[in-house]
Structure 1
Amino acid sequence: MTYLNDSCGSRQPPPVLDDIQGLVLRGYTLPYIRYIVFYMVDLAGARSFLSKLLPGTSDVEITTAKPWDRDDRPIYTLNVGFTYSGMEFLMNEGDRKVVERESSNVFDLFKGGAVGDAQAVGDINSSDPKHWWDRSGEWLLPTKRESPYDELHLVVTIYADSTGTRENYHQKLLKLIPGETGLPALMQAYIQDSDPLDEGEDYIHFGYKDSFSQPRLSDVPWNTNVGRLLAGKGLIDDRPCVPPYQFVITPKFKVDPTNPQSAELPKYRAHPLLHNGSFAAFRVLHQDVTAFKAFINKGKEKGISPELVAAKMCGRWFDGTPLVVSPDGPDKTLNGFDYTNFNYIEPTAHQQGKPVNDEFGLLCPYASHIRRTNPRDDYKVKGNKNNAEEKRIMRRAGPYGPDYDETRPDDGIPRGLVGLFICADLSAQFSFIMESWVTNGSFRIGKDADMSPNKSGFDPLFGSEDGMTDHETFDFLPPGTQRPPKKTDYTVIDGLPQFIRTDGGLYLFLPGIEGLRHLANGTIPKS
């Protein structure tokens, strides 16, 4: 039995769950995370290490997407991702060229890495890659590499139920690294931990509750009617499903096998080595909490509460209540999918609150973070088709650094957000969102695209980049504004600074289990 959007209805092949890394398809409810960046020194030793991570090989192994019993949940999970330099290290040149040639449209951006894409996604000025790895986390090598990505090859992610479990499995992982040559075959370059804040799990340093509106993939067990019941979740989920091939690299298939003229999906093509794998952007994002709190308090000068300014910047109140559901304040009666069942133009079937059309951004500004990163049914946003289905990313990120202390606003302690932003096509998904929606001032099209006087070329939660004096305002419509609004209707808060700075970045490939086996063996599957 299927319910609402359990299946996208395109007769796509079901995901091969035991060949897909679990982090891609599901979020782990294990709150203590460690990201370990390695560079590889010895080829034979590196391949030996990777082979020991394959399922069933040792007591520290890759976690797949295969469901586990509710009474047999793991106390840790482990996943791996390789940079292009890491793939280059592991593969012989001939095989690598074959894979690149047959996977060009998903491999080209990956090959250039996060450094090559920095300008496009807004990593400039203080976020420029030349500054990466120095300001957050722990750099472990005796010297800094000449380039921010030189010899950064592999990221291992450990999720655990406690800090003790995390440390225990980290040490077990290190014991798998061969060291016959006198040096370990892999050396740790950088470590970043992510722990829950005092406010609770899923909260970030700016004070918002995070992890809402993750893409719901069709045809996976935990997103079906039965799966939601077993997980104790509600059934009324209005969100359009997203086909797994937007996140798991899948061979082309016919949408309708009975129709020879049927279109082929997905739109990319990839060598079999990449099948059941995914790409991801690994990001270390410093958050300036002091500047954020100072800015939202500027609203007091205009009789506007800091909470409302913050809600307009995000599109949600601090507790996650969407503005289009409850524009006047948090709604404590919301539960489960109530936080995600909403649209901007045509309200969804089970949208809470007063159903309205927010075409003009009267409730949730065009510039707000959640509207920029997932414009839902606002089809006047450039590149948005089918409820942004083709542009979604899977967020696996959490806070790093200690809780912000109001009594010590300038403590100088690094804090922010770290994690993976996962997709099947970095160019069409992650990079597109960053370049076209997050760092583009007029991301809507049509006669009302520039209705808002907001000059910020950046998502307001990111803030304007250093030196961008033309992008230092944030504006929104006060309650009671008539539609359509005039430019003079907007409340404008000046002095929008930069709140988020990139302190590290890598573009990664997360192979399927068979893909990892080939990398460990120094082979590739036949095309």
Structure 2
Amino acid sequence: MCSDCTLRELVVELKTDETRPRLPKKAERFVFFRITNEKEFKKALPTMADYITTAHAASQNRNDIFKQKADGTLKGLIHLVSMNISFSAVGLAKLGAEKFNDEVFNGGQFKDMTAPSSGESEEDHQGLDLQQEWAPELMPSGGGIDGCLVVAGDSLESIDKSIKKTFDWVFNIGNENQSIDKVYTKVGQVFDDHLEHFGWVDGISQPIVHGLDDVVKQSGGKGMKPVNPGVIIVGGEGDESDHPEWAKDGSFMVFRIYEQLVPEFYHWCAFHCPTGIKEIMEAQAEQRPVTWSDAAMDEMGLFSSRLIGRWPKGAPMELHPSDDPNNGLNQSKDPEENKRLVEMKFGQEGLDRLKTIKIKNLTDEFNYNPMDQTKCPYASHMRKTGPRDDYEEYTKHVMMRRGIPYGDWCGDEERGGGVTKAERGLLFVSYQSSIDNGFRTQQKRWANTSDGPTDFAKQAGGNSQGIDPIIGQIHPNLLAEKKAGQFNAQYATAPKIDFPTPVYGQVAPQVFDKSIDLARLCVPHGGEYFFTPSISALKDYIPSI
């Protein structure tokens, strides 16, 4: 991913692999490996570096695609594969690299994010993940992970062919000079409209980077403030860390598996909506899956969008607090057919809305008023993890998010039944120059605390807003047993979140008279902290150690 090019190009590459404009990525494979022969591995590493997708190559690929689109010669999906390689602290130690002055990275994600089991020290387990819910291969007891190969492409078939021709060949998989063992793999796929499993467009609100796109995207101070490149890239302007010289132009990668309990999410949202709970009770009495009415879906849509902070297609609640501007505009997946149907239903007014809807959905040209939550609740996921003007120094804590869904889409029958039958979720990936400033702050200091990033108790009528309703965690000791008859979801005994009583078509009040018991809707299954070196580090520094 990183190459000996300008910092501007490095950030361009990070921003354009999955964010708009996107490379034609439809699938991604993460291959976690353990180094078994350090000498042979270092000897082969410079050759592997030749296959890493550089910023220049990514830019050239994008230009080729745009030219073909403009010329009308683009036929279907272009077969492209991009790859990158990263190392854990354990892996870098095996290779003899100069150690980072970073306790979080050096300690690894298992220490940082798991909670202690009975008799274990809180010093050795500083998080809230249940250890038994981690994938065994990602745990130190399973041997640990030294590195990760990330390969994205137009199909899993193209990806696997590329891995065989490059990674497997370079590191002699299957012969006497083999220098690694593959110990774990995860596959992600991109759904239509880049939806994640709960049904929201993912990847919006990426950081605006000085020298790259702040002039284009920032509009009169209405949107997110630009950040220095050093917030993402080690050694760049604004990087406050004291990392070794060899790490310059690299970036820390956080990988983490979040299972999403989709049926439980829908039922929990319905449980807090008048029509939704009525229809759930009717379905339970008749021992059948729920089939929600349009009225229930409207109520649930408003409630769940307030939880997230955006409507499913992306329009921010702060700008559209009462009604989704996409309503009625999704008549067909075929663009031309959709345009025809919208015109039939709404006339010229519908066509005018259709012209501007993409801008409304993808806009970042807004900020929050710290004194107001009538549009977007203080407790919403987007506001908790991306506080904008709610938190003065939020630009220090942003990260490039690179996640991709895994698992099959949840069908209507499973969703209506209220119980997850197949695992699915998000393979979360982020890049930052400091894990502590980036991922760790957003998850542990903001999402997991009832008063983070800013305590709005005074503005909300005396109560702190609560933990993040989507990814917020509480101590395992506070997790209640599954409650019979309540959709088999795990509920938390504490804390609750202050949240509006959803009334479709109305703006919420500033102060609420009730709070909501949170359901456990995302289950972490482990991960690791990695460092992604520059091409020069892969070719020159590591092999020479």
Moved over 6 A (4+): 18-21, 120-123, 234-237
Q: Within the alignment, does 1:373 sit opposite 2:368 as a pair?
A: no
Match of 1:41 in 2: 36
SS of structure 1 residue aligned to 2:364: coil
Structure 1 pair 359–236 and aligned structure 2 pair: CA distance change class (3 A): closer
Alignment check: 8 A CA contact 2:457 2:464 kept: no
CA contact under 8 A between 1:118 and 1:129: conserved in structure 2?
no
| Aligned equivalent of 2:64 | 72
1:208 maps to amino acid: W
Q: Would you say 1:63 and 2:92 are equivalent positions?
A: no
For residues 376 and 236 of structure 1, the distance between their equivalents in structure 2, rounded to whole angstroms, comes to 11
Q: Which amino acid aligns with 1:393?
A: M
Note if contact 2:319-2:375 (Cα within 8 Å) is conserved in structure 1.
Answer: no
Residues 355-379 of structure 1 deviation map (CA, whole Å, 9 limit, x = unaligned): xx56221111111000011101113
Unaligned runs of at least 5 residues, structure 1 = 1-13, 56-60, 229-233, 254-264, 346-356
2:423 pairs with one of 411, 414, 418: 414
1:505 Cα deviation (Å)? 1.0
State the AA in 2 paired with 1:52: T
8 Å Cα contact 1:239/1:340 also seen in 2: no
Call closer, same or farther: CA 1:434–1:411 in 2, change over 3 Å. closer
Distance in structure 1 (CA, Å) of the matches to 2:33 and 2:373? 45
Q: TM-score, normalised by structure 1?
A: 0.75
Matched, 1:241 2:232: no
- Matched to 1:50, the amino acid is L
Q: Quick one: which of 358, 373, 379 aligns to 1:361?
A: 373
SS at match of 1:502: strand
CA contact 1:21–1:513 (8 Å) conserved in 2: no
CA distance in structure 1 between the aligned counterparts of 2:139 and 2:493, rounded to whole angstroms: 35
TM-superposed deviation, 1:109: 1.2
- Which of 239, 247, 255 lines up with 1:274 in the alignment? 247
Q: Provide closer, same or farther for how the CA distance between residues 247 and 26 of structure 1 changes in structure 2, counting only shifts above 3 A.
A: farther
- Partner AA of 1:415 in structure 2: R
* Mean Cα deviation higher: 18-27 or 298-307: 18-27
AA aligned opposite 2:52: I
Of 114, 131, 134 in structure 1, the residue corresponding to residue 133 of structure 2 is 131
TM-score (norm 2): 0.73
Output the CA distance in 1 between the equivalents of 2:139 and 2:273.
Answer: 47
Structure 2: state its 5+ residue gaps: 66-78, 116-121, 277-295, 327-352, 480-491
CA distance in 2, matches of 1:449, 1:116: 36
The residue aligned with 1:351 is none
Shift of residue 167 of structure 1? 1.8
Q: What's the % identity of the aligned pairs? A: 21
Alpha-carbon distance between aligned partners in 1 of 2:530 and 2:172, rounded to the nearest angstrom? 23
* Cα 1:514/1:464, change in 2 over 3 Å: closer
What is the deviation of 1:17?
A: 5.8
What SS does the corresponding residue of 1:335 show, helix, strand or coil? helix
Aligned with 2:413: secondary structure?
coil
1:20–1:512 CA contact under 8 A, matched in 2: no
Q: Is the 8 A contact 2:254 2:430 kept in 1?
A: yes
In the TM superposition, residue 47 of structure 1 has moved relative to its aligned partner by: 1.4
Report the alpha carbon displacement of residue 300 of structure 1 after superposing the two structures with TM.
2.4
Tell me by how many angstroms 1:210 deviates: 1.0
Looking at structure 2, the residues matched to 237 and 335 of structure 1 have their Cα atoms a distance apart, in angstroms, of 18
Matched, 1:165 2:150: no
The answer to whether the 8 Å contact 1:83/1:152 transfers is yes
Q: C-alpha deviations, 1:193-236, integer Å up to 9, x for none?
A: 11123xx142111111111101122224x7765xx9xxxxx999
Deviation at 1:339, TM superposition (A): 3.0
Is 2:306 the partner of 1:324?
no
Q: Check whether the contact 1:286–1:414 (CA below 8 A) recurs between aligned residues.
A: yes
Q: Which residue of 2 aligns with 1:295?
A: 268
Q: Which residue pairs with 1:51 in the alignment?
A: 46
Checking the alignment, whether the CA contact within 8 Å between 1:344 and 1:358 is kept in structure 2 is no
Q: Deviations over 1:363-404 (max 9, x none)?
A: 11111000011101113xxxx42xx21110110001000011
Query: How many Å apart are 1:65 and its aligned residue?
Result: 1.9
Tell me how far 1:178 sits from its aligned partner: 2.3
1 CA distance for matches of 2:449 and 2:47? 45
List per-residue Cα deviations over 1:471-492 (Å, max 9, x = no partner): 2544423566787x44xx3454
Correspondence for 1:461 among 470, 478, 485: 470
Change (3 A) 1:69 1:158: closer
Counterpart residue number, 1:448: 458
Q: Residues 344 and 359 of structure 1 are in contact (CA less than 8 Å); yes or no, is this contact kept in structure 2?
A: no
- Specify the SS of the correspondent of 2:444: helix
Deviation at 1:176, TM superposition (A): 1.9
- SS of aligned partner of 1:418: strand
Please report how far the alpha carbon of residue 160 of structure 1 lies from its aligned counterpart in structure 2 after TM superposition: 0.3
Cα distance in 2 for partners of 1:474, 1:163 equals 41
1:147 to 138, 141, 146: 141
1:273–1:451 Cα change, 3 Å: farther
Q: Who is 1:514 aligned against?
A: 536
Distance verdict in 2 for CA 1:239–1:111, change over 3 Å = same
> Could you say which residue in structure 2 is the equivalent of 1:433?
442
Match of 1:88 among 65, 87, 93: 93
Q: Which residue of 1 aligns with 2:337?
A: none
**Deviation, structure 1 residue 453:** 4.2
After the TM superposition, which of the residue ranges 434-443 and 405-414 deviates more from structure 2? 405-414
Report the Cα distance in structure 1 between the residues aligned to 2:62 and 2:214, rounded to whole angstroms.
15
Check if 1:476 corresponds to 2:519: no
Aligned to 1:348: none
Name the SS of the counterpart of 2:168 in structure 1: helix
SS of alignment partner, residue 442 of structure 1: coil
Structure 1 position 390 matched with structure 2 position 412:
no
Q: How many pairs were matched up?
A: 442
Does the aligned pair in 1 maintain the 2:110–2:526 contact within 8 Å? no
Deviation at 1:174, TM superposition (A): 1.4
Report the CA distance between 1:493 and its aligned residue.
Answer: 3.6
TM superposition shift of 1:307: 0.8
Which amino acid is the alignment partner of residue 231 of structure 2? Q
Whichever structure has more helix as a proportion of its residues is 2
Cα distance in structure 2, aligned partners of 1:70 and 1:273: 30
The 3-state SS of whatever aligns with 2:378 is: coil
How far did residue 145 of structure 1 move? Answer: 6.5
Deviations 1:113-139 (A, max 9, x none): 1112115999856x33453215xxxx6
Cα separation, 2, equivalents of 1:368 and 1:392:
17
The 5 A counterparts of 1:183-332 are 184-197=178-191, 200-220=192-212, 225=216, 238-250=223-235, 265-301=238-274, 305-332=299-326
Distance in 2 (CA, whole Å) between partners of 1:300 and 1:446 is: 25
Structure 1 position 320, deviation (Å): 1.1
Question: Which deviates the most, 397-406 or 239-248?
Answer: 239-248
Partner Cα distance (2:372, 2:220) in 1: 31
